[in-house]
Amino acid sequence: MTRPAAIVLGCSAGGPEALKTVLGGLDQHLSQAVLVCCHTGSETVELLCELLARASRLPVIEAAEREAVRGGTVQVAPAGYHLLVEGDLHFTLSTDPRVNLARPSIDVLFASAAAAWRHALVGVVLSGANADGAGGLRELRRLGGCAIVQSPDSALASAMPQAALDRAGADHCVPLDAIAPLLNQLCLP
Amino acid sequence: MDHPPDDLELEGIELDLFVEAMRRRHGYDFGQYAPASLLRRVRQLAQHHGDGAISALTHRLLHEPALLPQLLEGLSVPASDMFRDPSVFRALREQVLPRLASWPQLTIWQAGCAHGEEVYSLAILLEEAGLYERSQIFATDLSTHALERAREGIYPLRSAQQWSRNYLAAGGRRSLADYYSARYGLLKLDGRLRRHVTFAQHNLVADAVFCEAQLVLGRNVLIYFANPLQQRSLALFRDSLVRGGFLCLGLRERPGPVEADFAPVDAGLRIYRRIGPVASERRP
């Protein structure tokens, strides 16, 4: 199997807690880009980035439009915008209508990332109370990417991982604590 | 290609052909739009107007000119909210309008006005600051359909609650309900707010400077453009401004290549002031 070039993570309710666990367990030598889409409902992701930076050994920044995707860095979708990845691995933002009542939408990020990285992508769906992410994970798998879903019974809100399992299936369905070790194993040389 | 193209690669070809057909058949060039968001929109149009195949949409684009306005609407700036990002409108109210008051006449250009939500928000700000009588707002968009909707000023009533909160958060001291009437699930803005607004088609890809403005707003327009078109648009914004005029971009947009021509008023809120020699003064 090819080593992935990027990891995309999606979550909503219970997401920040789950992200802390996952990012906290990622190896600091990881060279992959780590992209995060978390529904927060707040006006900015400044606090979320701070919270995640305290837990993560990789630097955490807000993804900025037209910037190149950075390896070894966690990049968080800004509040109020869809985050997309271009084929040339730059970010594009969009204020197009909400998808699954969400902007940023996990489906939008996952689908564009899947087109950009194809089989060199790992998608992770974590805790959340709606079905966003299921369609994107399905597209990611269709294009050869690897899907990890947090086991619903280990999630604070199980609807999102359950919807992902129902609609996309998963290559790995594991408890929250097992996700970071699995990512390290898939991503480290 | 040394292997047969997969469906994504085929779709990429279809998108290129759609863009080419749009340019050659109708003269609108989307070749400098950011590909990822353009592809999403074209896919949605292909779903809405057919079976989802972009090549089928291209066929209709070529042979059914009446479809063009709908396609342009789907490819241009999406709907916004009244007083979206209230902190920006509060800064316009508190920091920009008092300085604009020193000009006897005010020209304002709102680029990419979509359905007009932010145009009416601005008109309300100017009205409440006592500046509207001497103001002229040019609200432009690529899409004539969007401009028609903007001219109507009718929106779903379900937006009213959020918009009212936005209005108050933006420093409004009245009630947003003072500016609209509600009926049949719709909200209709007071037509008087439109009395100094000119809605007009303008294409940032091809059209030139058309006014000398004290304030230019181009919010969440640049994000849809690739770098060269972003630079062209920013230069247009800059060259439309009088010395000391104000520029307001979307919260996640940056003045990039024209940054040196501006001083930040509130960089976090993307509000800038034009400094240095301006285009109109350079003309012979």
Q: Does residue B33 carry a pLDDT above 90?
A: yes
| Residue among B78, B252, B253 whose CB faces A96 most closely | B78
pLDDT tens digit sequence for B35-88? 999 999 999 999 999 999 999 999 999 999 999 999 999 999 888 999 999 999
Contact A95 B220 (CB under 8 A): yes
**Residue A134: helix, strand or coil by DSSP?**
helix
* Mean of pLDDT values over A89-100: 96
Helices B160-169/B117-128 angle, 10° precision: 40
Q: Which of A9, A84, A95, A79 is nearest to A39 (CA)?
A: A79
Residues B49 and B56: their CA atoms lie apart, in Å, by: 9
* Burial environment of residue B80 by CB neighbours within 10 A (0 to 12, 13 to 18, 19 or more): buried
Contact B78 A97 (CB under 8 A): yes
- Distance from A23 to chain B by nearest Cα, in Å? 25
Residues A25 and B118: their CA atoms lie apart, in Å, by: 44
Query: B40, B48, B269: which to substitute to probe chain A, counting the most A Cβ within 10 Å?
Result: B40
Residues B161 and B176: their CA atoms lie apart, in Å, by: 9
Contact B224 A78 (CB under 8 A): no
Q: What pLDDT shows up at residue B281?
A: 64
Residues B175 and B87: their CA atoms lie apart, in Å, by: 17
- Distance from B281 to chain A by nearest Cα, in Å? 33
* Mean of pLDDT values over A32-36: 98
Q: What pLDDT shows up at residue B3?
A: 75
**pLDDT-derived band at B284, boundaries 50, 70, 90:** very low
| Residue among A86, A95, A115 whose CB faces B34 most closely | A86
Q: What pLDDT shows up at residue B282?
A: 53
Q: What pLDDT shows up at residue B2?
A: 64
Triad B41, B231, B111: Cα angle to 5°: 60
**pLDDT-derived band at B5, boundaries 50, 70, 90:** confident
Give exposure, B13-39, as e/b (b: 16+ Cβ within 10 Å).
ebbeebbebbeeeeebbbbbbbbbbbb
A64 touches chain B (CB under 8 A): yes
Contact B34 A92 (CB under 8 A): yes
Contact B227 A66 (CB under 8 A): yes
Q: Does residue A152 carry a pLDDT above 50?
A: yes
Check: CB of residue B89 under 8 Å from CB of residue B117. Answer: no
* Mean of pLDDT values over B150-154: 97
Instruction: Give the number of residues written for chain A.
Output: 189
Contact A94 B230 (CB under 8 A): no
Q: Does residue A170 carry a pLDDT above 80?
A: yes
Q: What is the CATH number of domain A6-187?
A: 3.40.50.180
Cβ-Cβ contacts under 8 Å for B78 (sequence gap 6 or more): A95, A96, A97, B114
pLDDT tens digit sequence for B81-123? 999 999 999 999 999 999 999 999 999 999 999 999 999 999 9
Q: What pLDDT shows up at residue A134?
A: 98
Q: What is the CATH number of domain B86-282?
A: 3.40.50.150
Strand order in the sheet with B180-183: B154-156, B186-189, B180-183
| Residue among A65, A112, A118 whose CB faces B223 most closely | A65
Q: Which of B33, B17, B46 is nearest to B203 (CA)?
A: B33
Q: Does residue A1 carry a pLDDT above 80?
A: no
Q: Which ranges in chain B are annotated with CATH 3.40.50.150?
A: 86-282
Domain residue extents for chain A: 6-187
* Burial environment of residue B66 by CB neighbours within 10 A (0 to 12, 13 to 18, 19 or more): exposed
CB pairs under 8 A between A and B: 56
| Residue among B77, B79, B253 whose CB faces A65 most closely | B253
